Chain A
Amino acid sequence: MGNFSYLSGIEPESSNLIKALQLVQAKEGYVSDDAIVEVAAYFKLAPVEVEGVLSFYAQFKRVKPGRFQIAVCDGTACHIKGSNSVFKWVSNELGISDGETDADGLFSLFTVACLGCCSLAPVMSVNGTVYGNLDRKKVAKIIKEYRAK
């Protein structure tokens, strides 16, 4: 069992449930089965109730993601500007598809709907850092840089 003592910073009041799950994900990178049991106990809920809320929201990950999380934007602006191709380039480069993590646990890949930098479309982000005006070369360069880290 992990140590979820940091939950104590949040008042165990039902309207804070999502906040608590967000905190868990920020700390652990995902919400494990253990975490669900802990959060449920903390809020005096049944684990299924927690899972029921969690499963509604796309933000929550139930499996451990890679060290670098690549989010290819597929919002409208990016879609119009060829996010399909960006996705294929990243996917080819890493050998994984949407929602997957590579064998070394280095990269995870998924799509998101709009990072708010539409004027630089197409964009993607790696661990929250946004890269804009992507073309194939830039994508390859960015991945190479992270591989070396």
Chain B
Amino acid sequence: MSEIKMIRVGAASCGVAAGALPVLAMLKEKAGDIPVLEVGCLGHCYAEPLIEVVKKDGGSVMYGKVRADETSINNILTLAEAGRFEIPAGRKSKELVKVLRLAGRIVPTCWDDYIANGGYSALKKALAMTPQAVIDEVKKSGLRGRGGGGFPTGNKWGFLAAKTAPEKILICNADEGDPGAFMDRSLMESVPHQMLEGMLIAAYATGATKAFIYCRAEYPMAIKHLRIAIGQIYEHNYNDLNGRKIEIEIKEGAGAFVCGEETAMIHSLEGERGVPRFRPPFPTDSGWKGYPSMINNVETFGNVPLILSEGGDEYAKIGTAGGRGTKLFALAGDLRNPGLVEVPMGITLGEIVFDIGGADPDGVKAVQCGGPSGGCIPVELFNTPVDYDSLRSLGAIMGSGGMIVISKKRCMVETARYFLDFTHRESCGKCTFCRVGTTRMFETLERIVAGRGEESDLDLLESLGNKIRMGSLCGLGQTAPNPVLATLRYFRHEYLAHVRDHQCGALQCGALVDVKVDHDKCIKCKLCVKTCPVGAISADDIVVDNNKCTRCNSCIEVCPKKAISRVKKGEGVRK
């Protein structure tokens, strides 16, 4: 008899992308009558495909980077030592898992699993209270919106509850527009019922009559799991809020970042172009089709069942004055252990990036918080506690929770250019400063990374940035200059190197580097010659013609001796 009770395979999008499905299929085939379950994401994306073997004695063992081959699968089924995965000690000690308690531990689309783990007990509790008492509990918790703005959630609920109207609309913002953030995706895929439970509690407390989930179309698995979960709610009649039934409808986004903004989202839900409008009136006064409407983020709703279960006061014990409770962060970029983490507010950036993320302390230059609306924070300031207020004071923002670790090998000017490329294309075009201003900033940055910038460009960027902040209607324009202003503040020397010396210290900007073959290392295998798509490497003496080269890095990747590299502009010229 096997001592294995069941096997859990992490099969959220990240697991699938890492190859979980063939592993799953093979395990199912070989495991006999041991149940093999598809679960969500445990957050250790760096170790995907990740498998947890739960033993009959209650203990469990994990296996990381599992391959669909005989050896890996046999290791698992025999509980071998080989291939085991241990949660890194730094992460174990610093993480505080509350919202993600069930992620990776239950089958996302299994109703019984969620119920057996205390699911919908918070809703039951709420339904036994008055709506006002529920709102008071949320106010006491100190919960602030996790979508980026950080508005006190209880207050927002109070605004909607105070309205009398024939329809009141509840909207879940699942657009997760920050390119490089995946907290909401993970939560929706792994425990779809948790955010839905939060929505039902909110609907009860505020008297909402109709609910939407606006989810980005790039998240097919999240949408699928939500659909199934909503069906289960209907089936069990859990959308009956003490005699009042509420419908939850999923609307798929159509690829516009600005639709994450509240008024734009409402326009999009009305079937219009997703253009923001001036506030007031605030959505809680006049929103979808003129009805009072309230928007909260996925993670905000995900926190609500916890607050009801443990009580607002208990919830508020974690965190700082600048933010209560725990926060999810999507860690990615230059670090050993990218993934999804949950930490208490007030933890320092250093603890997240180094202790949890396993980034190399000598290699890290900065971390970008808050995506295209945020800013970078240099490693020197990594003892900053993470909450809404302290990050803002550094010129970054908490944002929704995307954290991109940037190593010394990356160029900060190019990074700023990247963000402006994104925002200038995503501007809805309504405000001149946002539309034209971000385009001018982008063009200026393009010039600088191409080695055609001048020192006066830095002043131009600063003055444009300040004007765009002032002259833009919505958060997109108001925050679009942040990545540039933050890099100018902390990494001005990199800008100066580009405009004064036409050098990119990180050797990232293609126009400011040459590609060069080190002939002491080269063994003349000519793989690079064959690989170069533009024929820039001469076959006889293996020298790169840097006028032809497009800096595609193919030869660098393909060279078995690592003989080819980027060098400063001018150093790769044939002598």
Measuring CB to CB, which residues of chain A are less than 8 angstroms from any residue of chain B?
14-19, 21-22, 52-53, 56-60, 74-82, 85, 88-89, 92, 112-121, 123, 128, 130-133, 135-137
Give the residues in chain A near B178, CB-CB below 8 Å: 76, 114
Let me know if B182 is at the binding interface, CB within 8 A. Answer: yes
Q: Contact at B18–A114, with CB atoms within 8 Å?
A: no
Provide the bound-state CA to CA distance between A113 and B553, in Å. 22
Q: Mark B167-187, 1 if CB is under 8 A from A, else 0.
A: 000000000101111100110
B residues within 8 Å of A by Cβ?
13-14, 16-18, 45-46, 48, 176, 178-182, 185-186, 217-220, 251-257, 268-275, 289, 330-334, 338-340, 368, 371-372, 402, 404, 406, 410, 415, 418-419, 422, 428, 533, 550, 552-554, 557-558
Task: Tell me the minimal C-beta distance from A61 to chain B in angstroms.
Answer: 11
Q: In the complex, are the beta carbons of B271 and A81 less than 8 A apart?
A: no
Chain A residues contacting B428 (CB-CB under 8 Å) are 56
Q: Is B272's CB under 8 angstroms from A58's CB? A: no
How far apart are A98's CB and chain B's nearest CB, in angstroms?
12
Give the residue of B185, B253, B331 whose beta carbon is less than 8 angstroms from that of A116. B185
Which chain B residues lie closer than 8 Å to A137 at the CB level?
Answer: 557
B256 touches A76 (CB 8 A): no
A56 and B46 alpha carbons, distance in the complex (Å)? 36
Are A113 and B17 interface neighbours, CB within 8 A? no
Chain A contacts for B220, CB-based, 8 A: 128
How many Å lie between the Cα of A121 and that of B180 in the bound state?
9
Residues of A within 8 A of B268 (CB): 18
Q: Is the CB of B180 within 8 A of A118?
A: yes
Least distance between B196 CB and chain A CB atoms (Å): 19
Cross-chain contact A53 with B182 (CB below 8 angstroms): no
| A residues in contact with B179, CB < 8 Å | 74-77, 113-114
Cα A82 to Cα B507 with chains together (Å): 13
CA distance A119 to B313 in the complex (A): 35
**Interchain Cβ contacts under 8 Å between A and B, 18 examples:** A16-B271, A18-B251, A18-B271, A59-B217, A74-B179, A76-B404, A77-B332, A80-B406, A80-B410, A81-B333, A88-B550, A92-B533, A119-B330, A120-B338, A121-B332, A121-B338, A132-B17, A133-B18
Do B256 and A119 touch (CB < 8 A)? no
Shortest A136–chain B CB gap in Å is: 4
| Interface pair A59/B254, CB less than 8 Å apart | yes
In the complex, are the beta carbons of B271 and A120 less than 8 A apart? Answer: no
Task: Tell me the bound Cα distance from A7 to B17 in angstroms.
Answer: 33
How far is it, in angstroms, between the C-alpha of A83 and the C-alpha of B422 when the chains are bound? 14
Give 8 closest A-B pairs by Cβ, nearest first: A76-B180, A119-B45, A75-B179, A57-B254, A77-B332, A59-B255, A119-B338, A58-B255
Q: Which of A21, A56, A78, A130 contacts B16 (CB 8 A)?
A: A130
Beta-carbon contact of B176 and A77 below 8 Å: no
A86 to B120, CA, bound (A): 45
In the assembled complex, which residues on chain B have CB atoms less than 8 Å from the CB atom of A60? Answer: 254
In the bound assembly, the distance between CA atoms of A117 and B332 in angstroms comes to 9
Supposing A18-B254, A80-B406, A89-B552 touch, asked if A118 and B271 sit within 8 A by C-beta, the answer is: no
For the complex with contacts A130-B16, A135-B557, 4 further pairs of A-B residues with Cβ separation under 8 Å are: A76-B372, A76-B404, A76-B419, A119-B14
Contacts of B289 in A (CB 8 A): 15
